[in-house]
Amino acid sequence: MAKAQNKTTENEGSVNDFLNQVADDSKKADCYRIKEWMEEITGETAKMWGTSIVGFGTYHYKYESGREGDFMKVGFSPRAQNITLYIMPGFARYAQLMAKLGKYKTGKSCLYVKKLADIDHEILTELITESFTHMCNKYG
């Protein structure tokens, strides 16, 4: 039986070409701002993951089931309804930051924001920093 391959993998796609396709000028500007922040925080160059995610850094995971692969340590994507930020450790460990962040929704590892004006930029920077640091400490 062949191992399942991740659909979302790092590739050589152009991040700027991808972001320039964002139709809403405000969302596009927010995405470029997030890209700059994540590059500063991580010290990593933005890379395309799949066709619609901008990611920073990589880690290798292996589940007890034997499934393993590589994924980004932190990233974001301009989706139709929201900008999705990928905070890979999830949010349970960041309750104090989340309480001060502003207007958002979450999934397991997804932070959904309509626009950067809805959230506290310093708190978001701290959240990204702590998440990336956690991933680096856990996976190298």
User: Domains in the chain, please, with CATH?
Assistant: 11-135 (3.90.1150.200)
pLDDT score at 4: 55
Q: What is the mean pLDDT of the chain?
A: 94
Q: Is 66 left (phi over 0), alpha (psi -120 to 50) or beta?
A: left
> For the chain, how big is the Rg over CA atoms in Å?
15
- Tens of pLDDT along 91-123? 999 999 999 999 999 999 999 999 999 999 999
Residues in the chain: 140
Across-strand partners of 11?
48
CA distances from 2 to 8, 50, 114 (A): 18, 21, 40
- Tens of pLDDT along 43-69? 999 999 999 999 999 999 888 888 888
Closest to 70 (Cα-Cα) out of 2, 5, 3, 138: 5
Structure tokens of 27? 């969302």
